[in-house]
Amino acid sequence: MTETPARQRREELAGSLTTGSHILLPDGERTAEIRQLELERDDFGVPALVLASLTGGGTLRIAAGSTVTLVEETHDAVTRLPRAAAAAADGTGTGGGAGTAGGTGTTAPAGDAAPAEPGQEQPGGGRAADVPGPAVVVPPLPPAPPAATGPSDEELSLIPAPDGTPESVVEAAAEAHPDAVGVLLLTDRLSKGVNFKSGSCLKDLTDLAHELFVTLKDAEGALSIADLLTVLPYDGNPGRWASVEASLALASYICRQDGQDERAAVYEKLIRTPENQETDPFKARMAAKVRQRSLNEPNLYDKEIFRSIDNSNHDAEREWRLLRLESLLFLRAHGGSETIGMSELERRIGNELEAVRS
């Protein structure tokens, strides 16, 4: 039995590609096997570009939402009898010549042909039972997506409910610091109404929490404002989630400094919520790889800070240091990375706090 290969084509999204697949190249004629895949995200964390390294060399750059053509070989089984079996079926031998059995010159009756035993050598060199059947390849199951590790209801109860409406919490922060211009500017905008569906409103809230903690050293007031955001669920919008993420990282650091380790652990679980949303195994693996790379190579704004120092622009330097502080707090909430350990993070966060408060 032999197999004749046939090629079939099917369409698939670029974000679902796997290594080993044969992809139709842009010229529409040639194909190449994918050796390695990498996923790049845009500044909002959305999958944007798939980099497919090919076995023959070269890399394809494909938009994550594009449809590509995969070429697969299927095998159609074509049955061919051994020569001896074919001769028996026709009532002819294959030994000495046509119409003879075993070269004796006499024709063997079809009814007298003894059935071949399994594995028995047949005239012509074949074995009756050794004809290979079509191979069945069972691909291994993909690894299961990461299990959800969100906090339980009991853990969530460690985050206290706000004392009044969001607007009243904001007003309390303003009353506690009547001479702080930065606080007054933010609370003036928020006093008109807190809209949790507005990205700009969420940004004002997290800026207010950072202003209270970093500039005014009001950890309790900062935590009360941050908790307006920390309880918000992940809605898949990277723009809005960036503000929630920053508040979670700040709340985690404040609680760690205050000895509230259990409460801090809840914030640290919540900040990982987007990591548990992807159910596709391939996309989950690629997202984890990209996420680990971003943790190992964080943007700490070194060039911008040094440039501001060289230009004696203290205001710009402070703004860049605040952004660096947010990046360090984010790393701290994730337990550090493969390149920056926890002790080093604590040291750097302390240095940045001292620099922006001076």
String of b and e for 92-116 (b: at least 16 CB within 10 Å)?
A: bbbeeeeebbeeeeeebeeeeeeeb
Return the pLDDT at 51.
82
**If you compute the radius of gyration of the chain from its CA atoms, what whole number of angstroms results?**
34
Nearest partner of 287 among 320, 215, 279, judged by Cα:
279
What single letter denotes the amino acid at residue 208?
L
The topology (CATH level 3) of 2-77 is SH3 type barrels. (2.30.30)
Nearest partner of 187 among 163, 162, 212, judged by Cα:
212
Per-residue pLDDT of the chain (358 residues; tens, 9 = 90+): 444 455 678 888 877 788 888 888 887 778 888 888 888 877 666 778 888 888 766 778 888 778 888 887 654 444 444 444 444 444 444 444 444 444 444 444 444 444 444 444 444 444 444 555 455 545 554 454 444 467 888 999 999 999 899 999 999 999 999 999 999 999 999 988 999 999 999 999 999 999 999 999 999 999 999 999 999 999 888 889 999 999 999 999 999 999 999 999 999 999 998 887 777 888 888 888 888 898 999 999 999 999 999 999 999 999 999 999 999 999 999 999 999 999 999 999 999 999 999 8
Give the DSSP per-residue string, 253-295. HHHHHTT-HHHHHHHHHHTTGGGG----HHHHHHHHHHHHHHH
Both tokens assigned to 20:
């080993």
Return the pLDDT at 300.
94
Cut 0.75: pTM above it: no
Q: Is 299 exposed, middle or buried (0-12, 13-18, 19+ CB in 10 A)?
A: exposed
Gap between the Cα atoms of 163 and 316, Å rounded? 36
Return the pLDDT at 277.
78
Return the pLDDT at 140.
52
Q: In the chain, where does the domain assigned CATH 2.30.30.30 lie?
A: 2-77
Is 235 in contact with 112 (CB distance < 8 Å)?
no
